[in-house]
Structure 1
Amino acid sequence: MSQTIISTDFHFPGQKSVYKGKVREVYNINDEQLVMIATDRLSAFDVVMPKGIPYKGQILNQIATKMMAATEDLVPNWLTATPDPNVAVGELCEPFKVEMVIRGYLSGHAAREYKAGKRMICGVPMPEGMKENDAFPEPIITPATKAEKGDHDEDISAEDIIKRGIVTEEDYVVLEDYTRKLFRRGSEIAASRGLILVDTKYEFGKTKEGKIVLIDEIHTPDSSRYFYAEGYEERQEKGEPQKQLSKEFVRQWLIANNFQGLEGQTVPEMSDEYIQTVSDRYIELYENITGEAFEKADVNNIEKRIEANVLAYLKS
């Protein structure tokens, strides 16, 4: 197995604090910049798996970087530099405590809710008579509250977000507008690569000047679900599962091994062979969504490489 980066413990000049999320570690530099390191950790059902996935952090970081560049004419973002394959540096923002999830198709969590008989998700109605992976008449926005560490993200309606003061009504209108614009552009990019952007989530923050910007990742396999466009209609007609590029295949493997992140459940053992197949799937998505061959970074000593690159950037 290739070396992976599971956690970091850097001490950069001007470092004020470090936040460790499910898969990213964010270093605050002088309350001005954030150094965000994409680790190789894998999270599913809001649980971090015990083993890392080779090259996963590099893949997420590089897809997100390319997608930020491809959407910055529509929506401003936090990113200023990528000094290392696993690192993004950007402006310090105050994150909104809500994830803007948008769904073009009845898949994943929405499909599981639908199967359970629900026809309303986050205050948004879902039409009767849909099959799993059918397209919605129009994409629907189904926000989720940002979970504290170890908790599950929770569905929430726009009305409750505003009523509970999580986001002001004025700001929420902007978040919805940005979410729809980004999803349209992401869908166009995916279509040009023979893919369908099924659903995704966006996170936003506010700069010190009060500007709302896109933060975190965008259109990666961790934040998005993709289908192959070729054969989509035929598979739907036959009631067959869609061929997809996303983290859903990991979730399905976990479900098949009796794990959904519920109390009392144990994470099943992932063999080195299975982990390699997950890494291969992530590389496949990178190459499909970017249209470029994936170039593996040197992983002989990832921590040393990242530290040297970040220090050189901060000095400059």
Structure 2
Amino acid sequence: MSIANQVLAVNDDLPIRTDKPVHSGKVRSVYWLTEEDSHRLIKQKGYNVADNAPLAIMVISDRISAFDCIWHGEGGLNGVPGKGAALNAISNHWFQLFKDNQLADSHILDIPHPFIWIVQKARPIMIEAICRQYITGSMWRAYEKGERKFCGINLPEGLEKDKKLPELLITPSTKGILKGIPNVPEADDVNVSRDNIEASFQAFNFSKVEDITHYEKLLKDGFKVISEALDRVDQIFVDTKFEFGYVNDATGNEKLIYMDEVGTPDSSRIWDKTEYQAGNIVENSKEGFRQFLLNYFPDPDILLNKNRMDERFALAKHNSLPQEEIMKISKTYLNIAEKVTGKKVILSNNPKQEIIDVLRNEYDLIV
């Protein structure tokens, strides 16, 4: 069997019963179940959610996105073998660890297959919350230019690139385009301060202003749990993105939960600790792929300059990347998943058919 057949690149064409359009993101696709199917599954499976909670099937893919584009490789490789299963396995592991440490629940109710989650609908907090333990990436670029205030936080003089920060920092940005918030531009992914959030907490979708403190605690506690676990397998948790939302449980209580994915190579920077101590940065995350792209193309400004998006999309569309580079990324994802979970990620020979079979036989969700 060719490697290309083991890749799930298209994940929005499954015959899952739904009466709404399928939402397809860069990596995951979401199928909202009918009211009848949601209600039936809540009853049958005993999920701890409100009777009328909308449920969805979230299907991951092996697609790889970077710089807002989807990339492909030679030989019909439209994704990275093992990437989807590795991402889900890592997220599942951390979500379970959060639960074991009494932090908070996640939006995931069930995991029928390594590629799929059954999730409940949450009301999202409109913030991408970045936790940073080291100064690197966009924060370093701003610091190097002389900026000493980042997301409302005053930074001391004398910080060095890729070195540990004096304390863990929370540097939030907007999730989507938020309108009418004083001092916050109407654009996606704009850095905001805690003061901005507090002054307009309802615009960011917080139920009450006190929940901001709770969200910050969940951020720091979640980061600590993952950081300590990664340290035990000789990895450094550099920075990561968290997302949150509200749901109601079976008794009607509103609670703040973790959403999306956590602590994965897609949403985090993870460095090899032994190499770091020897003075080298070895990325065990998607950052390695980004660096490859910047070095591979003669004009990296296309990838960094948002005014050149048409050229960037053309670059991704018309360039098949070397297969060995795609397989290097595959190795990075599979290795870090196996380190985190302690288990081997088994590659599926026909992921699409496996998903259809399990959703038909065990959940009666296939038309």
> TM-score, with normalisation over the residues of structure 1?
0.89
Distance 1:97 1:26 in 2: 19
Other structure's SS at 1:244 match: coil
Larger-Rg structure? 2
Partner of 1:285: 336
Distance 2:307 2:126 in 1: 25
Cα distance per residue 1:102-153 (max 9 Å; x no partner): 00111222222222322222112222211111111110001121237xx852
Give percent identity, aligned residues only. 29
Partner of 1:307: 356
Q: CA deviation at 1:243?
A: 1.7
Q: Which runs of 4+ in 1 moved over 6 A?
A: none
Q: CA deviation at 1:15?
A: 4.5
Question: Is 260-269 or 222-231 further displaced after alignment?
Answer: 260-269
Other structure's SS at 1:49 match: strand
- 1:138-287 pair list within 5 angstroms: 138-147=167-176, 153-164=189-200, 165-168=203-206, 169-208=209-248, 209=252, 210-235=254-279, 241-256=280-295, 257=297, 258=300, 259-260=303-304, 262-264=306-308, 265-266=311-312, 267=315, 269=319, 270-287=321-338
CA contact (8 A) 1:102 1:139 kept: yes
Q: Structure 1 residues 127, 297: CA separation in 2 closer, same or farther (over 3 Å shift)? A: farther
Q: CA deviation at 1:313?
A: 3.8
Distance 1:307 1:261 in 2: 41
Cα distance per residue 1:38-77 (max 9 Å; x no partner): 1112122233324421221111111111111111122222
Distance 1:313 1:33 in 2: 16
1:54 to 77, 81, 95: 81
Other structure's SS at 2:294 match: helix
CA contact (8 A) 1:161 1:167 kept: no
1:125 to 131, 154, 175: 154
Partner of 2:27: 23
Q: Which amino acid aligns with 2:246?
A: K
CA contact (8 A) 2:240 2:268 kept: yes
Q: Structure 1 residues 313, 133: CA separation in 2 closer, same or farther (over 3 Å shift)? A: farther
Cα distance per residue 1:263-314 (max 9 Å; x no partner): 323335312222111111111211222233222222x3x2222122223342
Partner of 1:136: 165
Partner of 1:6: 9
Distance 2:233 2:259 in 1: 24
For structure 2, the residue ranges without an aligned partner over 5 or more in a row are 36-52, 73-77, 178-186
Q: CA deviation at 1:261?
A: 5.7
CA contact (8 A) 1:100 1:175 kept: no
For structure 1, the residue ranges without an aligned partner over 5 or more in a row are 236-240
Q: CA deviation at 1:11?
A: 4.0
CA contact (8 A) 1:221 1:246 kept: yes
Other structure's SS at 1:226 match: strand
Partner of 1:64: 91
CA contact (8 A) 1:193 1:291 kept: no
Distance 1:136 1:115 in 2: 15
Q: CA deviation at 1:202?
A: 1.0
Establish whether residue 33 from structure 1 lines up as the match of residue 55 from structure 2.
yes
CA contact (8 A) 1:54 1:279 kept: yes
Q: Structure 1 residues 41, 152: CA separation in 2 closer, same or farther (over 3 Å shift)? A: farther
Distance 1:5 1:55 in 2: 9
Q: Structure 1 residues 43, 126: CA separation in 2 closer, same or farther (over 3 Å shift)? A: farther
